[in-house]
Amino acid sequence: MTVRILVADDDQLVRTGLRMMIETQDDLAVVGEAGDGEEAVRLAIQLRPDVVLMDIRMPGLDGIEATRRITSATSLDEQTDGPRVVILTTFELDEYVYEAVRAGASGFLLKRTPPEDLLEGLRVAAGGDALLAPSVTKKLMSEFARSTERRGPVLDDGRLSRLTEREREVLVLIGHGRSNREIASDLIVAESTVKTHVKRILMKLEVRDRVHAVVFAHESGLLRSDEHD
């Protein structure tokens, strides 16, 4: 199956370079290009790509608001989960990364990411897994922790109570940035077992992907209570 990708960046040279790189792969294809946020939203709804590779800083409607509109519009479609939006960012400390997650982004790639890693990242995102550069993950999780510390956890709406004790344990480890392999090692179980737990956690919490499960873990106060145990 070919992964269909929409590239959104206001720099024509960047878009052309990304298209050329992506289309060297038999299983990846660029189905459209957008030079600003408005066009990205329109094409995402029209073309229904599997992944939107989104630049944050664009004229007019920026990548954050474009991401919010894309994920909101496609979440209303009962026939599809909508495209995964992967943010292409220049700096690990990009001030907009936190807001992009809140807007519904499923992952981040640094613009200096080696081509082979970027291509594999698109495949990972299309497969439904969250995609975060390790350096971005640590900073992102720190920002969510600080945000929750400042305003306190939101009231749990009951979703946390749907999880089994083991699933809560797995969610805590996900929230601390552990990979499936690391979680399997921590809990002394098979990696396939962890993947099953993660899938059930996403379903029970009604979240799009691993990134947003982490957001939920922070905002529900689960990670804070874990630190005090």
pLDDT in tens, the chain (229 residues): 899 999 999 999 999 999 999 999 999 999 999 999 999 999 999 999 999 999 988 888 989 999 999 988 866 554 456 788 998 877 655 567 777 877 888 888 888 888 998 898 888 888 766 666 555 555 666 666 666 566 555 556 688 889 999 999 999 988 777 778 889 999 999 989 998 999 899 899 988 778 778 778 877 878 765 554 4
Helices (H), the chain: 12-22, 37-47, 63-75, 97-103, 115-126, 134-151, 165-175, 180-187, 191-205, 210-219, 222-228
What is the token pair recorded at 136? Answer: 């971005």
Distance in angstroms (rounded) separating the CA atoms of residues 202 and 223: 17
- Which DSSP state fits 7? E
The answer to whether the Cα torsion of 92, 27, 32, 81 is positive or negative is negative
Can you give the pLDDT at residue 79? Answer: 46
What is the token pair recorded at 139? Answer: 């900073």
Q: Identify the architecture of domain 3-139 in CATH.
A: 3-Layer(aba) Sandwich (3.40)
Bridge partners (DSSP) listed for residue 29: 4
Q: Do domains 3-139 and 152-228 have the same CATH topology?
A: yes
Distance in angstroms (rounded) separating the CA atoms of residues 58 and 52: 15
Question: Three-state DSSP class for 110?
Answer: strand
Map out the domains of the chain as residue ranges. 3-139, 152-228
Distance in angstroms (rounded) separating the CA atoms of residues 129 and 3: 14
- Which DSSP state fits 128? T
Can you give the pLDDT at residue 132? Answer: 60
Distance in angstroms (rounded) separating the CA atoms of residues 58 and 95: 15
CATH topology for 152-228? Rossmann fold (3.40.50)
Distance in angstroms (rounded) separating the CA atoms of residues 182 and 187: 9
Question: Three-state DSSP class for 54?
Answer: strand
